[in-house]
Amino acid sequence: MHFSVSGVDVFPLIPPLVALIVSSFTASAGISGAFLLLPFQVSVLRFDSPAVSPTNLIYNIIAIPGGLYRYIKEKRMAWALTWVVSVGTLPGVFVGAWIRIRYLPDPKAFKFFIGIVLLYLGYRIASDIFGWNRKTKDKNDILNKKFAKQVADMKKANTGRITAGLPVDAVVKTKSFSLSKVEYEFWGETYSFNTISVFILSLVVGLIGGIYGIGGGSIIAPFCVSVFALPVYTVAGAALAGTFITSIAGVIYYQILAFTAMPGSAVVSPDWLLGLLFGLGGIVGTYLGAYLQKFLPERLVKILLLSIVIFLSAMYIIQFIAK
Protein backbone atom coordinates (compact mmCIF):
# COMPACT_ATOMS: atom_id res chain seq x y z
CA MET A 1 0.00 0.00 0.00
CA HIS A 2 1.30 3.46 -0.89
CA PHE A 3 1.00 6.39 1.53
CA SER A 4 1.15 9.59 -0.55
CA VAL A 5 2.21 12.07 2.15
CA SER A 6 5.13 10.08 3.51
CA GLY A 7 5.95 8.24 0.29
CA VAL A 8 5.99 4.95 2.23
CA ASP A 9 5.10 1.64 0.62
CA VAL A 10 4.22 -1.03 3.20
CA PHE A 11 1.68 -3.81 3.78
CA PRO A 12 -1.14 -2.10 5.78
CA LEU A 13 -1.10 -4.66 8.62
CA ILE A 14 2.57 -4.04 9.41
CA PRO A 15 2.19 -0.60 11.11
CA PRO A 16 -0.56 -1.65 13.57
CA LEU A 17 1.21 -4.94 14.35
CA VAL A 18 4.51 -3.21 15.11
CA ALA A 19 2.70 -0.60 17.21
CA LEU A 20 0.86 -3.31 19.16
CA ILE A 21 4.06 -5.15 20.06
CA VAL A 22 5.99 -2.00 20.97
CA SER A 23 3.28 -0.27 23.00
CA SER A 24 2.32 -3.35 25.03
CA PHE A 25 5.86 -3.37 26.46
CA THR A 26 6.47 0.35 26.80
CA ALA A 27 3.14 1.47 28.31
CA SER A 28 3.89 -0.39 31.55
CA ALA A 29 6.80 2.01 32.04
CA GLY A 30 4.77 5.11 31.24
CA ILE A 31 5.92 5.34 27.63
CA SER A 32 3.52 5.40 24.71
CA GLY A 33 5.94 3.66 22.34
CA ALA A 34 6.46 6.64 20.02
CA PHE A 35 10.15 6.74 20.90
CA LEU A 36 10.61 3.29 19.36
CA LEU A 37 8.24 3.84 16.45
CA LEU A 38 10.10 6.92 15.25
CA PRO A 39 13.31 4.95 14.53
CA PHE A 40 11.18 2.27 12.86
CA GLN A 41 9.63 4.84 10.52
CA VAL A 42 12.93 6.55 9.78
CA SER A 43 15.16 3.48 9.43
CA VAL A 44 12.78 0.77 8.20
CA LEU A 45 10.09 2.69 6.31
CA ARG A 46 12.54 5.40 5.14
CA PHE A 47 10.16 8.14 6.25
CA ASP A 48 12.58 10.87 7.35
CA SER A 49 11.04 14.20 6.30
CA PRO A 50 9.83 16.65 9.01
CA ALA A 51 6.35 15.17 8.50
CA VAL A 52 7.41 12.07 10.45
CA SER A 53 7.27 14.07 13.70
CA PRO A 54 3.55 14.97 13.62
CA THR A 55 2.75 11.51 12.18
CA ASN A 56 4.33 10.01 15.27
CA LEU A 57 2.25 12.36 17.42
CA ILE A 58 -0.94 11.07 15.76
CA TYR A 59 0.01 7.62 17.01
CA ASN A 60 0.19 9.07 20.54
CA ILE A 61 -3.23 10.70 20.27
CA ILE A 62 -4.91 7.46 19.22
CA ALA A 63 -2.88 4.98 21.27
CA ILE A 64 -2.68 6.63 24.68
CA PRO A 65 -6.36 6.89 25.77
CA GLY A 66 -6.66 3.12 26.37
CA GLY A 67 -3.86 3.03 28.91
CA LEU A 68 -4.80 6.41 30.34
CA TYR A 69 -8.34 5.25 31.00
CA ARG A 70 -7.10 2.32 33.06
CA TYR A 71 -4.82 4.51 35.20
CA ILE A 72 -7.69 6.92 35.86
CA LYS A 73 -10.15 4.10 36.58
CA GLU A 74 -7.78 2.54 39.12
CA LYS A 75 -7.01 5.96 40.69
CA ARG A 76 -3.30 5.67 39.99
CA MET A 77 -3.12 9.13 38.40
CA ALA A 78 -0.94 11.66 40.20
CA TRP A 79 -3.02 14.61 39.01
CA ALA A 80 -0.78 17.27 40.51
CA LEU A 81 2.20 15.84 38.64
CA THR A 82 0.09 15.53 35.49
CA TRP A 83 -0.87 19.20 35.43
CA VAL A 84 2.65 20.46 36.13
CA VAL A 85 4.00 18.26 33.32
CA SER A 86 1.28 19.34 30.89
CA VAL A 87 1.61 23.08 31.55
CA GLY A 88 5.38 22.84 31.14
CA THR A 89 5.45 20.79 27.93
CA LEU A 90 2.88 22.79 25.95
CA PRO A 91 5.02 25.89 25.21
CA GLY A 92 8.03 23.64 24.61
CA VAL A 93 6.30 21.59 21.92
CA PHE A 94 5.41 24.75 19.95
CA VAL A 95 9.01 25.96 19.94
CA GLY A 96 10.23 22.44 19.17
CA ALA A 97 8.02 22.13 16.09
CA TRP A 98 9.31 25.47 14.80
CA ILE A 99 12.97 24.43 15.36
CA ARG A 100 12.38 21.07 13.65
CA ILE A 101 11.12 22.72 10.47
CA ARG A 102 13.31 25.79 10.46
CA TYR A 103 16.68 24.52 11.63
CA LEU A 104 16.66 20.71 11.83
CA PRO A 105 15.23 19.19 8.65
CA ASP A 106 18.20 16.81 8.94
CA PRO A 107 17.72 14.96 12.26
CA LYS A 108 21.26 13.54 12.44
CA ALA A 109 22.80 16.11 14.81
CA PHE A 110 19.84 16.22 17.13
CA LYS A 111 19.66 12.44 17.30
CA PHE A 112 23.18 12.58 18.71
CA PHE A 113 22.03 15.12 21.30
CA ILE A 114 19.12 12.89 22.32
CA GLY A 115 21.52 9.94 22.52
CA ILE A 116 23.68 11.84 25.02
CA VAL A 117 20.65 12.84 27.10
CA LEU A 118 19.36 9.27 27.14
CA LEU A 119 22.78 7.97 28.09
CA TYR A 120 22.67 10.20 31.17
CA LEU A 121 19.14 9.08 31.96
CA GLY A 122 20.24 5.48 31.61
CA TYR A 123 22.91 6.11 34.23
CA ARG A 124 20.33 7.61 36.59
CA ILE A 125 17.96 4.66 36.19
CA ALA A 126 20.82 2.19 36.63
CA SER A 127 21.91 4.00 39.79
CA ASP A 128 18.40 3.53 41.13
CA ILE A 129 18.22 -0.17 40.21
CA PHE A 130 21.63 -1.01 41.66
CA GLY A 131 21.37 1.23 44.71
CA TRP A 132 23.81 3.97 43.71
CA ASN A 133 21.18 6.54 44.66
CA ARG A 134 20.54 5.76 48.33
CA LYS A 135 17.58 8.13 48.78
CA THR A 136 15.69 6.67 45.84
CA LYS A 137 16.61 3.10 46.77
CA ASP A 138 15.32 3.44 50.35
CA LYS A 139 11.95 4.81 49.21
CA ASN A 140 11.46 2.27 46.46
CA ASP A 141 12.51 -0.62 48.71
CA ILE A 142 9.47 0.16 50.85
CA LEU A 143 7.14 -0.21 47.86
CA ASN A 144 8.88 -3.34 46.60
CA LYS A 145 8.55 -5.02 50.00
CA LYS A 146 4.85 -4.12 50.10
CA PHE A 147 4.44 -5.46 46.57
CA ALA A 148 6.15 -8.76 47.49
CA LYS A 149 3.97 -9.14 50.58
CA GLN A 150 0.83 -8.36 48.55
CA VAL A 151 1.75 -11.05 46.00
CA ALA A 152 2.40 -13.62 48.76
CA ASP A 153 -0.87 -12.83 50.55
CA MET A 154 -2.92 -13.04 47.34
CA LYS A 155 -1.35 -16.35 46.38
CA LYS A 156 -2.27 -17.80 49.78
CA ALA A 157 -5.82 -16.52 49.48
CA ASN A 158 -6.18 -17.79 45.91
CA THR A 159 -4.48 -21.18 45.88
CA GLY A 160 -4.35 -22.71 42.43
CA ARG A 161 -4.80 -19.41 40.61
CA ILE A 162 -2.14 -17.06 39.30
CA THR A 163 -2.98 -13.69 40.72
CA ALA A 164 -1.03 -10.69 41.91
CA GLY A 165 -0.91 -6.94 41.72
CA LEU A 166 -1.56 -3.77 43.68
CA PRO A 167 -4.40 -3.72 46.23
CA VAL A 168 -7.49 -1.58 45.67
CA ASP A 169 -6.36 0.90 48.34
CA ALA A 170 -3.09 1.65 46.51
CA VAL A 171 -4.36 4.94 45.09
CA VAL A 172 -2.81 8.38 44.68
CA LYS A 173 -4.02 11.17 46.97
CA THR A 174 -2.75 14.75 46.65
CA LYS A 175 -1.80 16.20 50.05
CA SER A 176 -0.59 19.67 49.04
CA PHE A 177 -0.06 21.62 45.83
CA SER A 178 1.83 24.93 45.65
CA LEU A 179 4.17 26.76 43.30
CA SER A 180 7.15 25.52 45.30
CA LYS A 181 6.26 21.96 46.29
CA VAL A 182 3.81 19.14 45.60
CA GLU A 183 3.14 16.30 48.01
CA TYR A 184 1.02 13.21 47.42
CA GLU A 185 0.41 9.93 49.16
CA PHE A 186 0.57 6.48 47.62
CA TRP A 187 0.13 3.20 49.45
CA GLY A 188 0.79 4.78 52.85
CA GLU A 189 3.96 6.62 51.78
CA THR A 190 4.37 10.34 51.07
CA TYR A 191 6.25 11.56 48.01
CA SER A 192 7.11 15.11 47.00
CA PHE A 193 8.79 17.09 44.25
CA ASN A 194 9.76 20.68 43.52
CA THR A 195 7.11 22.22 41.25
CA ILE A 196 9.48 24.59 39.45
CA SER A 197 12.05 21.85 38.78
CA VAL A 198 9.45 19.55 37.18
CA PHE A 199 8.04 22.49 35.19
CA ILE A 200 11.48 23.34 33.76
CA LEU A 201 12.12 19.67 32.98
CA SER A 202 8.76 19.50 31.20
CA LEU A 203 9.56 22.62 29.19
CA VAL A 204 12.79 21.07 27.90
CA VAL A 205 11.06 17.74 27.26
CA GLY A 206 8.30 19.51 25.34
CA LEU A 207 10.96 21.12 23.15
CA ILE A 208 12.50 17.75 22.35
CA GLY A 209 9.08 16.17 21.86
CA GLY A 210 8.02 18.90 19.45
CA ILE A 211 11.06 18.34 17.28
CA TYR A 212 10.97 14.54 17.10
CA GLY A 213 7.32 13.80 17.74
CA ILE A 214 7.86 11.66 20.82
CA GLY A 215 5.49 13.42 23.23
CA GLY A 216 8.07 13.27 26.02
CA GLY A 217 6.84 10.51 28.32
CA SER A 218 9.94 8.43 27.65
CA ILE A 219 12.11 11.25 29.02
CA ILE A 220 9.87 12.51 31.82
CA ALA A 221 9.21 9.04 33.27
CA PRO A 222 12.84 8.05 33.97
CA PHE A 223 13.66 11.55 35.25
CA CYS A 224 10.76 11.49 37.71
CA VAL A 225 11.68 8.00 38.86
CA SER A 226 15.46 8.39 39.16
CA VAL A 227 15.96 12.11 39.89
CA PHE A 228 12.83 12.97 41.91
CA ALA A 229 12.55 9.51 43.55
CA LEU A 230 8.88 9.07 42.61
CA PRO A 231 7.44 5.53 42.29
CA VAL A 232 6.94 4.35 38.73
CA TYR A 233 3.42 3.18 39.64
CA THR A 234 2.39 6.84 39.99
CA VAL A 235 4.64 8.34 37.29
CA ALA A 236 3.41 6.17 34.41
CA GLY A 237 -0.10 7.63 34.21
CA ALA A 238 1.09 11.23 34.54
CA ALA A 239 3.72 10.73 31.83
CA LEU A 240 1.13 9.27 29.44
CA ALA A 241 -1.32 12.10 30.17
CA GLY A 242 1.31 14.77 29.52
CA THR A 243 2.32 13.05 26.30
CA PHE A 244 -1.31 12.88 25.16
CA ILE A 245 -1.98 16.59 25.73
CA THR A 246 1.22 17.79 24.07
CA SER A 247 0.74 15.43 21.11
CA ILE A 248 -2.62 17.01 20.31
CA ALA A 249 -1.06 20.48 20.46
CA GLY A 250 1.91 19.38 18.35
CA VAL A 251 -0.17 17.88 15.54
CA ILE A 252 -2.35 21.00 15.35
CA TYR A 253 0.69 23.28 15.25
CA TYR A 254 2.47 21.25 12.55
CA GLN A 255 -0.69 21.25 10.46
CA ILE A 256 -0.96 25.03 10.80
CA LEU A 257 2.70 25.51 9.85
CA ALA A 258 2.11 23.39 6.72
CA PHE A 259 -0.12 26.18 5.38
CA THR A 260 2.53 28.85 5.86
CA ALA A 261 5.57 29.73 3.77
CA MET A 262 8.05 28.72 6.47
CA PRO A 263 8.51 25.02 5.48
CA GLY A 264 9.43 25.89 1.90
CA SER A 265 9.51 22.69 -0.13
CA ALA A 266 9.69 20.43 2.92
CA VAL A 267 6.72 18.17 3.73
CA VAL A 268 5.58 18.97 7.28
CA SER A 269 1.90 18.00 7.48
CA PRO A 270 1.30 14.60 9.10
CA ASP A 271 0.54 11.43 7.17
CA TRP A 272 -2.87 10.92 8.77
CA LEU A 273 -3.51 7.44 7.37
CA LEU A 274 -0.14 6.03 8.42
CA GLY A 275 -0.46 7.63 11.85
CA LEU A 276 -3.94 6.14 12.20
CA LEU A 277 -2.71 2.62 11.46
CA PHE A 278 0.06 2.93 14.04
CA GLY A 279 -2.45 4.32 16.49
CA LEU A 280 -4.94 1.47 16.05
CA GLY A 281 -2.29 -1.04 17.08
CA GLY A 282 -1.05 1.24 19.82
CA ILE A 283 -4.40 1.76 21.52
CA VAL A 284 -4.69 -1.98 22.18
CA GLY A 285 -1.05 -2.22 23.24
CA THR A 286 -1.14 0.70 25.69
CA TYR A 287 -4.26 -0.68 27.35
CA LEU A 288 -2.60 -4.07 27.78
CA GLY A 289 0.61 -2.43 29.01
CA ALA A 290 -1.22 -0.37 31.62
CA TYR A 291 -3.06 -3.48 32.78
CA LEU A 292 0.14 -5.52 33.03
CA GLN A 293 2.07 -2.81 34.88
CA LYS A 294 0.40 -3.35 38.24
CA PHE A 295 1.28 -7.05 38.09
CA LEU A 296 5.00 -6.40 37.58
CA PRO A 297 7.53 -5.67 40.35
CA GLU A 298 8.79 -2.10 40.08
CA ARG A 299 12.37 -3.31 39.60
CA LEU A 300 11.34 -5.22 36.49
CA VAL A 301 9.56 -2.17 35.09
CA LYS A 302 12.68 -0.07 35.67
CA ILE A 303 14.90 -2.66 33.97
CA LEU A 304 12.57 -2.54 30.96
CA LEU A 305 12.79 1.24 30.97
CA LEU A 306 16.59 1.13 31.25
CA SER A 307 16.83 -1.32 28.32
CA ILE A 308 14.76 0.98 26.10
CA VAL A 309 16.76 4.07 27.04
CA ILE A 310 20.17 2.42 26.51
CA PHE A 311 19.07 0.86 23.21
CA LEU A 312 17.92 4.20 21.80
CA SER A 313 20.95 6.04 23.13
CA ALA A 314 23.38 3.60 21.51
CA MET A 315 21.46 3.64 18.23
CA TYR A 316 21.44 7.44 17.96
CA ILE A 317 25.10 7.85 18.90
CA ILE A 318 26.31 5.07 16.60
CA GLN A 319 24.29 6.44 13.69
CA PHE A 320 25.85 9.87 14.20
CA ILE A 321 29.42 8.53 14.43
CA ALA A 322 28.99 6.16 11.47
CA LYS A 323 27.91 8.91 9.06
Q: At what angle do helices 108-129 and 217-226 cross, to 10 degrees?
A: 30
146 in any annotated domain: no
pLDDT at 67 over 70: yes
265 in any annotated domain: yes
Report, as an integer, the average pLDDT of 214-238: 79
| Whole-number pLDDT of residue 279 | 92
Dihedral sign (CA 214, 217, 223, 226): negative
Q: What is the count of structural domains for the chain? A: 1
305 in any annotated domain: yes
**Dist CA 170 CA 58 (whole Å):** 32
In the chain, which residue ranges form alpha helices assigned H by DSSP?
14-26, 34-39, 52-73, 79-102, 108-129, 134-157, 195-212, 217-226, 232-258, 272-293, 298-322
148 in any annotated domain: no
**Dist CA 277 CA 287 (whole Å):** 16
Cβ(38)–Cβ(207) below 8 Å: no
Tell me the residue range of the domain where 281 lies: 2-102+176-322
142 in any annotated domain: no
| Whole-number pLDDT of residue 74 | 77
64 in any annotated domain: yes
Q: How far apart are the first and last CA of the chain?
A: 31
55 in any annotated domain: yes
pLDDT at 222 over 80: no
Q: What is the CA radius of gyration of the chain?
A: 19
Percent of the chain clearing pLDDT 70 (strictly above): 83
113 in any annotated domain: no
Query: Which three-class secondary structure state does DSSP give residue 167?
Result: coil
